[in-house]
Structure 1
Amino acid sequence: MKSPLAGLGKLDYIGILFYRVGVGALLAFHGFPIITGGGDVWTDVGSAAAIASLPSAFFEYVGLASGVIQFAGGILLVLGLFTRATSLTLSVVVGFALANLIVESSFHLSFMVHLQVTLALLGLLFIGPGRLSLDRKGI
């Protein structure tokens, strides 16, 4: 007997669309408050770069760059533009926050969220933008 859900395999491109738009919107909504937060927020977010032995004088710039990358990268994911490059860049940014949480031994809800987003971005890196994207060849 055939499963009633077996026919959904023909619509896999819609699943990739939901996946890409969901992760992109999540990151854009996370990056916007960082951008608008000002110097204290930028320094706090940028302090995750201390794991790479970056001097504290650069934390503010790194925090702002992180917010801009998250916001702009999230929008690019929603649109389906430069999906693989954007996913790689965003996974590095979120990976720094994840590594910082590991170093601080902060294994709480925030750690799980960062881990899930990093894995989702790495999944998008290999899956690609899908059929319903502005990256699609032949449009």
Structure 2
Amino acid sequence: MKSPLTGLSKFDFFGVLLLRLGVGVLLAFHGYPILTGGGEVWAEVGSGAKITTLPENFYEFAGLASGLIQFMGGILLIIGLFTRGASLLLVIVVGFAIANHIVAESYQLSFIAHLQLALGLLGLVFIGPGRLSLDRKGI
């Protein structure tokens, strides 16, 4: 017997669009307060690198870079431009958050959420932008 859901495979491009929109909106909303937060917020976010031999202004730079990558990467995912590159940069940023959870031995709900986000972003690296994007070939 044929499953009633097999006909949905012709709309696979819509699933990729939903994944890009969902992850992009979440990351843009998460990155915006970091980006606009200023030096203290940047230093707090950047200190997640946990490298003690670096100067304090490096942590501010790392926090600013994290906020910028999250916000701009989320926007790029939403519009479907440079999807694979943006997803790869976002996986690296989320990887630092996962590493912080592992070092702190804090396996709470946010740890699971970061893992899920990293897996979704890795999926986008391999799947690509889909048919409904600015990255689409032949536009």
TM-score normalised over the length of structure 2: 0.94
1:1-139 matched pairs, under 5 angstroms: 1-51=1-51, 54-139=54-139
> 1:57: how far off?
3.3
* Separation in 1, partners of 2:95, 2:53: 15
Runs of 4+ residues over 6 Å off in structure 1: none
CA change 1:126–1:2 in 2 (3 A) is same
Unmatched runs of 5 consecutive residues or more in structure 1: none
CA change 1:92–1:39 in 2 (3 A) is same
Question: Residue type of the partner of 2:60?
Answer: E
> 1:97: how far off?
1.3
> 1:51: how far off?
4.9
CA change 1:95–1:53 in 2 (3 A) is farther
* Separation in 2, partners of 1:31, 1:67: 5
Unmatched runs of 5 consecutive residues or more in structure 2: none
Aligned residue for 1:110, secondary structure, equals: helix
Root-mean-square deviation over aligned CA pairs: 1.4
> 1:52: how far off?
9.0
CA change 1:11–1:84 in 2 (3 A) is same
CA change 1:110–1:54 in 2 (3 A) is farther
Retained in 2: the 8 A contact 1:17–1:130?
A: yes
> 1:53: how far off?
6.0
Question: Residue type of the partner of 2:9?
Answer: G
TM-score normalised over the length of structure 1: 0.94
